[in-house]
């Protein structure tokens, strides 16, 4: 599918999506509560078949946190980026996409560990790099650790 066809397809699945066209990918922004539903439709639809989660990244914004999902169809060789933000920084939550793409398991654990975004319905959401008793999330812009002389 071309980017224009992908754009039409996404809007037919969720009319409230905001779509920006980059040089290579479409970036589709949806509310956190709509992300899983749209991702599932994009994976299961015969004409999109997004069967591969290439990357999942957490982002720290001034008022909330966000997650980017780069997904690809190995059948049709097209890709898009899905983007969402949390309602706030304190109780940052997004539905897990692990049930759609198994590769999300470690990506979501990493984002949880380093940014503190909780992925609801994740089968094993626990710290990945830091000790269980570690306080805070070191990739947040407001993180400080006076013991290790980390200030932001």
Please name each of the domains of the chain with its CATH number: 3-148 (3.30.460.80)
Per-residue pLDDT tens over the stretch 80-126: 999 999 988 888 999 999 999 999 999 999 999 999 999 999 999 99
- pLDDT higher than threshold 80 for residue 141: yes
Q: In whole angstroms, give the CA distance from residue 127 to residue 124.
A: 9
Each as own residue / partner, the long-range contacts of residues 104-107 (CB below 8 Å, 24 or more positions apart, any chain) are 104/53, 104/56, 107/53, 107/55, 107/56, 107/57
Q: Supply the DSSP symbol for 148.
A: G
Q: Residue range 39-44: average pLDDT?
A: 97
Question: pTM for the whole thing?
Answer: 0.89
Residue 12: half-sphere exposure toward Cβ, Cα within 13 Å:
11
């Amino acid at each position: 599918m071309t980017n224009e066809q992908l754009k039409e397809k996404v809007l037919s699945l969720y009319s409230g999506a905001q779509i920006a066209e980059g040089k290579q990918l479409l970036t589709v922004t949806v509310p956190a509560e709509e992300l899983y539903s749209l991702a599932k439709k994009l994976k299961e639809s015969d004409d999109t078949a997004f069967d591969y989660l290439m990357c999942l990244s957490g982002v720290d914004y001034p008022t909330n946190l966000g997650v980017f999902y780069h997904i690809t169809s190995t059948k049709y060789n097209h890709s898009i980026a899905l983007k969402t933000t949390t309602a706030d920084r304190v109780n940052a939550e997004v539905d897990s996409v692990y049930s759609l793409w198994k590769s999300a398991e470690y990506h979501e654990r990493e984002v949880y560990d380093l940014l503190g975004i909780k992925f609801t319905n994740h089968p094993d959401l626990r710290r990945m790099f830091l000790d269980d008793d570690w306080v805070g999330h070191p990739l947040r812009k407001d993180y400080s650790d006076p013991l290790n002389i980390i200030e932001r």
